[in-house]
């Protein structure tokens, strides 16, 4: 079984020294890569910038990228041959319309940035997903969590979506623990109480494996 897995943030450059990014560390995605590898899967891990060391398993092939465009390009290379897609990365929705060649100097009291939309990696790949492929997305929400997650599940052609809420203590970016809710298209919900991200990853992989076709 081949798993395509995205993890970490993306950094969208503003000038040679500054970027737009987010607080994702990649911990959940890396834990998932290790958990899949432990089950015998071959994993292509496309990671945005992260201070985490490369996973130790020889079954995990690391591909490091920086921007959303780079992450999409690398994911698209292997999506067609992968049996399972897991989109755990926190991809920037927008990027600066213009990247300055030199450091932007301080001038005036305000600075206005023009942003343009990045490619939606999961949605774009989801349009070409074959029936035998299995796609899992992540949603980090702060309001109307279940409604937003269900919308994303259907809109991006996911089979499962893993919902994080920033309102849950110990969950989300930067923590070694996580608490998630998993939804499927039929409306079934599975709750994972607060535990280590490694344990959450093992539970998610077991759930995913139970949903796959017997041939995988």
What's the CA gap between 207 and 125, in Å, rounded? 22
- Give yes or no for a contact between 127 and 149, defined as CB atoms under 8 angstroms apart: no
Q: Which residues participate in catalysis according to the annotation?
A: 22
* 3-state secondary structure at position 45: strand
The torsion of the CA quartet 158, 201, 177, 167, rounded to 10 degrees, works out to 10
DSSP state string for 143-208: SSHHHHHHHHHHHTT-SEEEEEETTSTT-STT-SEEEEEEEETT--EEEEEEEEHHHHHHHHHHHH
Q: Which residues pair with 96 in a beta bridge?
A: 115
């Amino acid at each position: 079984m081949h798993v395509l897995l995205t993890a970490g943030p993306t950094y969208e450059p503003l000038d040679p020294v500054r970027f737009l990014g987010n607080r994702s560390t990649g911990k959940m995605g890396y834990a998932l890569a290790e958990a899949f590898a432990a089950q015998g899967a071959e994993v292509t891990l496309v990671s945005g910038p992260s201070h985490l060391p490369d996973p130790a398993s020889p079954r995990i092939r690391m591909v490091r990228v920086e921007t959303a465009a780079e992450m999409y390009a690398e994911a698209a290379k292997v999506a067609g041959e992968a049996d399972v897609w897991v989109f755990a990365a926190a991809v920037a929705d927008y990027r600066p319309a213009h990247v300055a060649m030199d450091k932007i100097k301080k001038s005036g009291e305000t600075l206005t940035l023009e942003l343009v939309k990045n490619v939606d990696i999961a949605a774009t790949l989801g349009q070409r997903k074959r029936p035998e492929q299995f796609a899992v997305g992540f949603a980090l929400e702060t309001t109307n969590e279940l409604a937003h997650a269900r919308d994303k599940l259907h809109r991006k052609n996911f089979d499962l979506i893993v919902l994080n809420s920033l309102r849950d203590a110990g969950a989300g970016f930067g923590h070694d623990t996580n608490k998630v809710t998993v939804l499927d298209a039929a409306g079934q919900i599975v709750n994972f109480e607060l535990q280590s991200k490694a344990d959450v990853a093992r539970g998610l992989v077991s759930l995913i494996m139970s949903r796959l076709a017997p041939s995988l």
